[in-house]
RNA sequence: CGGGGCGUGGCGCAGCCUGGUAGCGCACACGCUUGGGGUGCGUGUGGUCGCCGGUUCAAAUCCGGCCGCCCCGACCA
């Protein structure tokens, strides 16, 4: 209590990033802790963001040709054993159901940590011919991973996600699908969430258990740490062999299918908070904001109240007709100043203030959440609001991405000396993306991780072909890689 | 599992050392006031002090045991 002088404000971001992050989520009422350790409760404002994001991504996924389906929460424990790498990767964090109906089960069930096994079990029964391919399914569901350490949105014991699973006749087609989905995620996250990303291949150490290749999109958070925002895996024939997904090709030859899987989760909400939030609270990109515009009426005397509310209602109607998600804050008993702060905390992109002076002048005041200081406010002629506001919302969406991209680029550095890399990672705000030559050997990667706590986030695609010296061992390195401390 | 810390109205805490039957801020309810950046005042609701046992005339306070949570580390697509 001693140092929290003013509990109207959240912990400043610069003072304690982790505390700031929790404060924002709780105060903006996105989510709350649950009685079960590590689990999260999504409150309506947080769930609305998830719904908006889900609806848009669902649309984009379907455009690629995948269809939605739903597979069971429970999976026979033996299924997990079938793929060696997979079981090794997930066994420690799986929740197991041993009893049902008051009796001990013959075979324990696991609660899905991901659905590769049960989906592939079904794929084996549905795929017989090359004419059954490609088979491209997606499901929106919850999964459970018994994490030792949890954080709101970023790592919770139960989380929501989508997982896509596809089977193809050829290696090339499956590889193409893996990259198509990576690009789908990249476009979606940048355009819709206004979160800029780097993307590329994962190192062997960071690869999905059972995958031949894992691709990732990674964002850089406000504290300089990286966050994996989505992954797309080329599974090769590993699961096809384990689950016997076989088909007859055009030459009547028996072949194993080539597969992919890909997913994004409610972790994206954490990215949204950490990339855009400030000391005033959340800043939501208009595309995901369930309320894009809030109108705050201001008055003193009863006769003013009537005029102001009337003007507010007109603006509300005009915006609603223009397709803007808008609401009027008619609460009485709280001051306009309180409402300003309240809606800023909740991240509403644009606030419109209407007071007696504005009504008299035929104007309104528009306050942008993406800007700070005097430039954030401007006057709009009332009659033009319906056309000006959608344009403003577009500008806010773009500007949030620009701000975030500038921050990411400013915090991405090339290093050619190991000491310089280590110095960068050690500092107080130590972090950001380190763009370095890495020979690809696990021992060099391990040395970096153990000494700097930075891990390989991605090996960018489409690199210029050039050879440098590995930052650790000095041996020839065919590629650059991006390392960072990660969540 | 190792190291550290904490359990007192919904939240944040004081009280514990030096036992005497619980208090402050916020939030909440009502009223008046205020209203262009978190208005002010008043009244009020709400707590078997984590649990069990012991000492004592008397335990939030002292003693013993247990449980839970948080932070750091190990771990983690």
**One domain for residues A330 and A469:** no
**One domain for residues A258 and A352:** no
pLDDT of A48 > 50? The answer is yes
The H helix count followed by the E strand count for chain A is: 14, 25
CB A413 within 8 A of CB A435: yes
Q: How confident is the model at residue A462 (pLDDT cuts 50, 70, 90)?
A: confident
Q: How confident is the model at residue A430 (pLDDT cuts 50, 70, 90)?
A: low
On whether residue A81 sits in a domain, the answer given is: yes
Range from A96-105, A139-148, A434-443 carrying the lowest mean pLDDT: A96-105
Could you tell me the distance in Å between the CA of residue A141 and the C1' of nucleotide B16? 50
pLDDT of A268 > 60? The answer is yes
Could you tell me the distance in Å between the CA of residue A27 and the C1' of nucleotide B29? 22
Q: Look up the CATH number of the domain holding residue A469.
A: 3.30.110.30
Q: Look up the CATH number of the domain holding residue A253.
A: 3.30.930.10
| Amino acid whose CA is nearest the C1' of B25 | A1
Alpha-carbon span A68 to A61, nearest angstrom: 9
> Burial, A191: exposed, middle or buried (Cβ in 10 Å; 0-12, 13-18, 19+)?
middle
Strand B–CB A298 distance below 7 A: yes
**One domain for residues A389 and A251:** no
Domains held by chain A: number: 3
A133/A425: higher pLDDT:
A133
Task: Give pLDDT, residue A116.
Answer: 92
pLDDT tens by residue, A63-115: 999 999 999 999 999 998 888 888 888 888 888 888 888 888 898 999 999 99
**One domain for residues A189 and A308:** no
Protein chain A, residues 205-224, with a C-beta closer than 7 Å to any atom of nucleic acid strand B: 206-209, 214
Protein chain A, residues 169-198, with a C-beta closer than 7 Å to any atom of nucleic acid strand B: none
| Dihedral sign, Cα of residue A227, residue A163, residue A273, residue A409 | positive
Contacts of A78 (CB under 8 A, 6+ apart): A107
Domain range for residue A437?
A: 412-484
Task: Give pLDDT, residue A450.
Answer: 83
Protein chain A, residues 224-243, with a C-beta closer than 7 Å to any atom of nucleic acid strand B: 228, 231
| Average pLDDT, integer, range A449-461 | 90
Could you tell me the distance in Å between the CA of residue A338 and the C1' of nucleotide B28? 17
Range from A319-328, A381-390, A455-464 carrying the lowest mean pLDDT: A455-464
Protein chain A, residues 124-163, with a C-beta closer than 7 Å to any atom of nucleic acid strand B: 143, 147-149, 155
CB A482 within 8 A of CB A146: no
On whether residue A9 sits in a domain, the answer given is: no
| Dihedral sign, Cα of residue A205, residue A206, residue A210, residue A215 | negative
Residues in a beta bridge with A260: A166, A234
Q: How confident is the model at residue A429 (pLDDT cuts 50, 70, 90)?
A: low
pLDDT of A46 > 50? The answer is yes
On whether residue A4 sits in a domain, the answer given is: no
CB atoms within 10 A of CB A403: 17
Task: Give pLDDT, residue A2.
Answer: 29
Q: How confident is the model at residue A6 (pLDDT cuts 50, 70, 90)?
A: low
Q: Look up the CATH number of the domain holding residue A382.
A: 3.40.50.800
Task: Give pLDDT, residue A241.
Answer: 96
């Amino acid at each position: 209590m001693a140092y929290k002088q003013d509990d109207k404000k959240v912990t400043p971001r610069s003072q304690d990033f982790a505390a700031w992050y929790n404060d924002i989520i709780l105060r903006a009422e996105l989510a709350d802790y649950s009685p079960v350790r590590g689990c999260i409760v999504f409150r309506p404002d947080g769930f609305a963001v998830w719904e908006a994001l889900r609806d848009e991504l669902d649309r984009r996924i379907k455009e690629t040709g995948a269809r939605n389906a739903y597979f069971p929460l429970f999976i026979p424990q033996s299924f997990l054993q079938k793929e060696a790498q997979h079981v090794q990767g997930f066994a420690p964090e799986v929740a197991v159901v041993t009893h049902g109906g008051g009796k001990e089960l013959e075979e324990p069930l696991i609660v899905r940590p991901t659905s590769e096994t049960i989906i592939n079990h079904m794929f084996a029964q549905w795929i017989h011919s090359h004419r059954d391919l490609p088979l491209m399914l997606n499901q929106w569901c919850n999964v459970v991973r018994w994490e030792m350490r949890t954080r709101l949105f970023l790592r919770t014991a139960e989380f929501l996600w989508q997982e896509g699973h596809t089977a193809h006749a050829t290696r090339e087609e499956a590889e193409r699908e893996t990259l198509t989905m990576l690009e789908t995620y990249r476009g979606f996250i940048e355009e819709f969430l206004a979160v800029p990303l780097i993307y590329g291949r994962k190192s062997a150490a960071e690869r999905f258990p059972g995958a031949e290749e894992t691709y990732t999109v990674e964002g850089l958070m406000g504290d300089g740490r990286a966050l994996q925002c989505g992954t797309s895996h080329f599974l090769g024939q590993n699961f096809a062999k384990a689950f016997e997904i076989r088909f007859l090709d055009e030459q009547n030859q028996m072949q194993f299918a080539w597969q992919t899987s890909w997913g994004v989760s409610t972790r994206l909400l954490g990215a949204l908070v950490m990339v855009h939030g400030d000391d005033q609270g959340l800043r939501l990109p208009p595309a995901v904001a369930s309320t894009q515009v809030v109108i705050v009426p201001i008055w003193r005397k009863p006769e003013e109240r009537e005029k102001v509310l009337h003007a507010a209602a007109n603006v509300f109607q005009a915006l609603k007709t223009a397709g803007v998600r808008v609401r009027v804050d008619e609460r009485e008993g709280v001051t306009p100043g309180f409402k300003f702060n309240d809606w800023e905390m909740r991240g509403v992109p644009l606030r419109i203030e209407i007071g007696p002076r504005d009504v008299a002048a035929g104007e309104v005041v528009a306050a942008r959440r993406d800007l700070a200081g005097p430039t954030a406010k401007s006057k709009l002629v009332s009659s033009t609001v319906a056309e000006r506001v959608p344009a403003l919302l577009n500008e806010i969406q773009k500007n949030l991405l620009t701000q975030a991209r500038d921050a990411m680029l400013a915090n991405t550095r090339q290093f050619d000396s190991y000491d310089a890399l280590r110095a960068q990672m050690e500092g107080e705000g130590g972090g950001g993306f380190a763009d370095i030559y890495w020979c690809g050997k696990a021992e060099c990667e391990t040395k970096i991780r153990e000494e700097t706590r930075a891990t390989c986030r991605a090996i960018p695609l489409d690199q210029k072909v050039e050879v440098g010296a590995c930052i650790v061992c000095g041996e020839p390195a065919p590629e650059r890689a991006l390392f960072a401390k990660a969540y």
